[in-house]
Amino acid sequence: MIHASAHLPQTILDTISDSNIVAKVICEGCDEPVTVRRVVMPFGPDKGKSLEMKYGCRCEDKAIESQVLERRKELKKLREKERLFEVFDQNSLINSDLREAVFGTYHPTNRARKGGK
């Protein structure tokens, strides 16, 4: 079996090798065990720069997670608002139906009255 890592360029291998580990800590943000590595960025806007990268940190995941939860709450509120408007619309439709029904029943009596004159 050939490991995929055998085909990766050295710069990428450096980002996952154990030789560049700076620290192993528990992240204060997410309580996950985090390995800090000094890595020369193989690509991206910081290409060629030596940076300390956190591996295993889930802070961003948790941030996204809370954003998703926040968005879900907003959507739920929006849906509740929409439902309220729908109920309001239905009520006003019913009201106009009632109004028409009132006018509808009013006209014949008016005509009947006119006819009676």
The b-or-e profile of 14-44 (16+ CB within 10 A means b, else e) is: beeeeebeeeeeebeebebebbbbebebbee
Minimum CB distance to Zn ion, residue 20 (Å): 19
Stretch that binds Zn ion, among 1-9, 40-48, 51-59, 85-93 (CB under 5 A): 51-59
Q: Does 57 bind Zn ion (CB under 5 A)?
A: yes
User: Taking CB under 5 A as the rule, does residue 12 contact Zn ion?
Assistant: no
For the CB of residue 28, give the shortest distance to Zn ion in the complex, in Å.
7
115 Rama class: left (phi>0) / alpha (psi -120 to 50) / beta: alpha
First CA to last CA distance, the chain: 106
Selected from 8, 12, 25, 30, the binder of Zn ion by CB under 5 A is 30
Quick one: DSSP state of residue 48?
A: T
Smallest distance, Å, CB 55 to Zn ion? 11
Binding-site member from 12, 27, 41, 53 for Zn ion (CB under 5 A): 27
User: Which residues sit at the interface with Zn ion, rule CB under 5 A?
Assistant: 27, 29-30, 57, 59
